[in-house]
Amino acid sequence: MKRTLISALVAGCVGLASFAAAAGTVVVNGSTTVLPAMQKISETFMAKHKDIQVSLSGGGSGHGIKSLMDKTTDVAMASRDMKPAEVENVKKNGGEAVRFTVAVDAIVPIVHPNNKVKDLSMQQIRDIYAGRITNWKDVGGADARITVVSRDSSSGTFETWEELVMKGERVQQRALLQASNGAVLQTVAKNPNAIGYVGLGYITKDIKGLTISGKAASAETALSREWPLARDLYLFTNGQPKGDTKTLIDYALSPEGQVSVKEVGFVPVPAKK
């Protein structure tokens, strides 16, 4: 993804959040990982459906799912599945959580381009984030203290990282917590000793994606699940979507909508046979 798109997303989020869908408006809220895909999908969707507006904002997967439970958004974007307690909460309020897979993603550990480290094992990454490895020289890099950058706890990407990388261990307290993929990217791009992680669609020339035990993140390795940090990206609705919301969901999952997914660097969902 180009930096211009990231800048546009940041700017576009300001003032776009809404707490009620007006007639002809679909409110979409949640994951900053899913946001680039939905931004592109929404642009092409509104060009085709000029009578429907999409009000789009980020805030994290947890925020989007809470908004869905509170019935203040029509669609929640999430980079993780809903938790059983969240699904039950929706039911208690008379609703039903309905899930749609809109894309496949790969979480990629990233470092500054000047960092000579190119590859880490999952154990080395876990040890860095747990605080057991604190100097780059211990993994083949320069003699410099590692600055650990992580997402905050409202992020679905953070929860996926904890599940797939940390395996029940906690990210060290010294980690710099960031509210979005874009913030992680910018922090790592400015610090030669930093390590962070972002979705595949956020990889730019300003940072360097690491391989894991010799395996590189790509659309192919994410789809085949050869990449150990591959995951699905979701859209959730409260009940089966209807009206304008259904029109948007159907478009996002259509071949035309999936072209937008690919254009921003994510992996399109295979068509159902």
DSSP string, 12-79: HHTTT--SSPPTTEEEEEE-TTTHHHHHHHHHHHHHH-TT-EEEEEEE-HHHHHHHHHTT--SEEEES
Residue 203 token pair: 């990889």
pLDDT digits (tens, 9 = 90+) for 221-238: 999 999 999 999 999 999
6 pLDDT above the threshold of 60: no
Residues 6+ apart with CB under 8 A from 56: 12, 13, 16, 28, 29, 35, 38, 39, 42
Residue 265 has what pLDDT? Answer: 85
Quick check: 175 and 149 in contact, CB under 8 A?
Answer: yes
Residue 243 has what pLDDT? Answer: 96
Residue 168 has what pLDDT? Answer: 87
Domain 3-104+233-263, CATH number (from 3.90.550.10, 3.40.190.10, 3.40.50.1360, 1.20.810.10): 3.40.190.10
Sequence spans of domains, the chain: 3-104+233-263, 105-224
- For 3-17, 124-138, 169-183, which range has the lowest pLDDT when averaged over its residues? 3-17
The fold of 105-224 is D-Maltodextrin-Binding Protein; domain 2 (3.40.190)
Scan for tokens 């008379």, then name that residue: 94
| Eight-state DSSP code of residue 120 | E
Cα end-to-end span (Å), the chain = 30
Does the fold of domain 105-224 match that of domain 3-104+233-263? yes
Residue 201 has what pLDDT? Answer: 84
Percent of all residues in the chain with a pLDDT value above 70, rounded to a whole number: 91
